[in-house]
Amino acid sequence: MDLKIAILAGDGIGPEISAQGVDVMNAVCKKFGHNVSYEYGICGADAIDKVGNPFPDETFRICKQADAVLFSAVGDPKFDNNPTAKVRPEQGLLAMRKQLGLFANIRPVQTFKCLLHKSPLRADLVEGADFLCIRELTGGMYFGEKYQDNDKAYDTNMYTRPEIERILKVGFEYAMRRRKHLTVVDKANVLASSRLWRQIAQEMAPMYPEVTTDYMYVDNAAMRMIQEPCFFDVMVTENTFGDILTDEGSCISGSMGLLPSASTGESTPVFEPIHGSWPQAKGLNIANPIAQILSVAMLFEYFNLNEEGALIRKAVDASLDNNIRTPEIQVENGAKYGTKEVGKWIVDYITNA
């Protein structure tokens, strides 16, 4: 298979983990006889510094013409600490999602048996946790009408029926491929937009009679994720709630550096780690590359190259089981491995498999 991949390394630790993802992709393509080519684009703070735009037209062109995008992270403290900044790195993310029509963000939450002790929750609660958070990505408050002055500000949380229907369809279809349990998360007791979500979900549920569909207020869902994470199979929700809940879910595994995600929709899909740019760690060779590497696995699986994805997952499991880990998840008194060393170990495993 021929693959044309857009690489958006972004800011902070992005270039370091991006390099490991590309190395893994090269190793897999060589092993399975695929041809892969890359085109690199700038985004985030890096792009603001260079051209004044966090998602330049040229980067959009590169993404649009690719089969998939391997993205890393954006963000820089000089923007975080300036509330009056008119242009921010994160605006590049929103622009990419909107311009590519990426309305569905899929974040798997899972635990690794050898790392249960790293979770902030008790091992007996998180063992076996394995669910998907599906977040609507191009609607709601993040994209609604906004206003701000010195005395008043608002963000409009607007959704249309087609926007809700298409993301619920993604949720139901994933549930059908998994354990046939879908939880629709909303705040229908307070928000009109949530009541429309629930109404449409109830209309669609009979179309998927094999799926057990339940409904949960977002505050209850947040508590249930901590109290009983194994309850969930597939969770679907709107943009703002999804942003918060997916970050909460990422903590269950014990490190944000372990979990990948995919954003799909009308155009080129994007695969990325769930974490941010961690600028404090830039250049220190301590960032965990596993989320980026597992994003590569999701990329292959998106194109039904499941054997390739499975080999990457096997290599990651083997690295963790052999304590080839970056500092935040290393066992006490274990050997020290950096970003590059973990990536190289996984590449060598794939090459020799």
Catalytic annotation, residues: 142, 187, 219, 243, 247
Residue 285 burial (C-beta neighbours within 10 Å; 0-12, 13-18, 19+): middle
Can you give the three-state secondary structure of 185-208, one letter per residue?
EECCCCCHHHHHHHHHHHHHHHHC
H or E element in which residue 4 lies: strand 2-10
C-beta of residue 39 within 8 angstroms of C-beta of residue 7: yes
DSSP 63: H
Measured in degrees and rounded to the nearest 5, phi and psi for residue 3 equal -125, 130
Place of tokens 């063992």: 127
Place of tokens 């020290």: 336
DSSP 150: S
Which residues on neighbouring strands pair with residue 212, listed in sequence order? Answer: 181
Rounded Cα gap, residues 79 and 76, in angstroms = 6
H or E element in which residue 61 lies: helix 57-65
104-117 exposure pattern, b = at least 16 Cβ within 10 A, e = fewer: bbbbbbbbbeebbe
CA dist 268 to 54, 166, 336, 351, Å?
18, 17, 38, 28
Rounded Cα gap, residues 188 and 252, in angstroms = 26
For 67-160, list the strands marked E by DSSP: 68-73, 104-110, 130-136, 146-148, 153-155
Place of tokens 């928000």: 191
